[in-house]
Amino acid sequence: MTDVQPGGIYPITGIYSFGRGLIKRPAIQGNETSYQRMARLRAGQIVMSKLNAWEGALAVVDEPFGDTYVSPEYPVFSINSENAHVGYVEHLLTWPELWSRLTPRGSMVRRKRTTPSTLLATEVPLPDLAEQRRVADKLDAAMSRITQFATLREYSSQLADQYMDSLFRPIEDQLSLSVALRPSSDFVDVEPDDNYQTAGILNRGRGLFHRPVISGSDTKYPRYNRLHTGQFVYSKLFGWEGSLAVVPAEFEGIHVSHEFPTFDIDPSVADVEYMTHLARWSGLHDALKDKGTGMGSRRQRVNVDRLLATTVPLPSLPEQRRIARQLSVVRRTTEAGAEQTAQVAALRPALLNAAFSGQL
């Protein structure tokens, strides 16, 4: 531990949960913290968050984080090189089974802390050093390939977004959304004894998602708006960050609150498939960022009039269909890639389980 000097400068390190490693935080002056002492990290040590160790907030310190500081809430440990190989330990700390062994018992789990003695008393698989090195080498190679795959998929997704932008942005025919959209709601009274499947909208044009079924007696809303396939829907509260979508068939009849206005798309003006892609376009999301009302970004709402007044690229129907066909091909490819990414990501815990049960 190092005594904190009021005039000293201290680069601070934090820890991500779920085994995602360390994060550099802004440096602070000694007079900006209430801590009288902080620990200076050295490469090869282990650092843990007392508060979140049970959800994977612990890691081996690598070189870029040497000579940075953590508060007393982050205990630091040295690795006994006679018994443990640093590469093996590094993977061990990302093992979900270890986190579960550190999980505090009883109520109010999120307020409980993992003490250094708890960590040190936790039993883990620890074969001889030669076997540790072998396992670490195997995991290094496998995890490197998984990371490389994820990086390539992310790059592919970025290219898809750039391609979408290259199709929408040059369009000279700009019309307000009021030309294509007509407000259309299907409100139903909420009955206390009925259950309602509800939905929300992800930001950045990522579409609708199912919320849990809720009983009418458990909601404050007297009415729900019922969605219909092919409608345009958005969130008043988060429209400014891209929470808008065209309703796909699997959300037919799903319920949303009055905070999610719905619109019919005029087929004489706009193609539904084209509007589906337009709802995903970052250019439209950017255009809505200054359409909110209210104080503070998180309180801003995009009301219906402001949404409908927003201008968008809206060429002729044949041109819309041509663009939509191209974007749909790209979309199917990226969605298939996303499924593959999820499957590959699931390999991480499977590999760790195999490694630490002697099956790798």
Q: What is the pLDDT of residues 39-68, one digit of tens each?
A: 999 999 999 999 999 999 999 999 999 999
Q: End-to-end distance of the chain based on CA atoms, in angstroms?
A: 39
The pLDDT value recorded for residue 294 is 53
The pLDDT value recorded for residue 333 is 84
Q: What is the CA radius of gyration of the chain?
A: 26
Q: Does 327 score more than 80 pLDDT?
A: yes
Burial of 346 (0-12, 13-18, 19+ CB in 10 A): exposed
Angle formed at CA 327 by CA 326 and CA 330, multiple of 5 degrees: 95
Q: What is the DSSP letter of 79?
A: -
Structure tokens at 158: 């970025």
Contact between 235 and 279 (Cβ < 8 Å): no
| 296-317 pLDDT per residue, tens | 444 478 999 999 999 999 999 9
| 247-273 pLDDT per residue, tens | 999 999 999 999 999 999 999 999 999
The pLDDT value recorded for residue 297 is 47
pTM confidence score: 0.69
> Between β-strands 262-265 and 232-234, what pairing exists: parallel, antiparallel or unpaired?
antiparallel
Contact between 278 and 168 (Cβ < 8 Å): yes
Pairs from 28-31 (Cβ < 8 Å, separation ≥ 24): 30/4, 30/5, 30/6, 31/6, 31/7
In sequence order, the β-bridge partners of residue 13 are: 24
Contact between 19 and 37 (Cβ < 8 Å): no
**Alpha-carbon dihedral sign for residues 231, 327, 331, 278:** negative
Q: What percent of the chain has pLDDT over 70?
A: 96
The pLDDT value recorded for residue 295 is 45
Residues with Cβ within 8 Å of 281's Cβ and at least 6 positions away in sequence, in order, are 164, 165, 168, 205
Of the given ranges (105-109, 198-202, 320-324), which has the lowest mean pLDDT?
105-109
Helix (H) or strand (E) holding 77: strand 76-77
Angle formed at CA 235 by CA 242 and CA 256, multiple of 5 degrees: 135
The CA distance from 16 to 23, in Å, is: 7
The pLDDT value recorded for residue 6 is 92
The CA distance from 79 to 173, in Å, is: 65
Structure tokens at 82: 């006679």
Reduced to 3 states, what is the DSSP secondary structure of residue 224? strand
The pLDDT value recorded for residue 218 is 94
| 126-170 pLDDT per residue, tens | 999 999 999 999 999 999 999 888 888 888 888 999 999 999 999
Q: Does 285 score more than 70 pLDDT?
A: yes
| 20-36 pLDDT per residue, tens | 999 999 999 999 999 99
CA distances from 74 to 50, 84, 92, 114, 324 (A): 6, 21, 18, 10, 52
How confident is residue 15, by pLDDT bands cut at 50, 70 and 90? Answer: very high
The CA distance from 54 to 111, in Å, is: 11
Averaged pLDDT for residues 319-345: 87
The pLDDT value recorded for residue 154 is 85
The pLDDT value recorded for residue 292 is 55
Structure tokens at 350: 């499977």
The CA distance from 204 to 241, in Å, is: 6
Averaged pLDDT for residues 100-119: 77
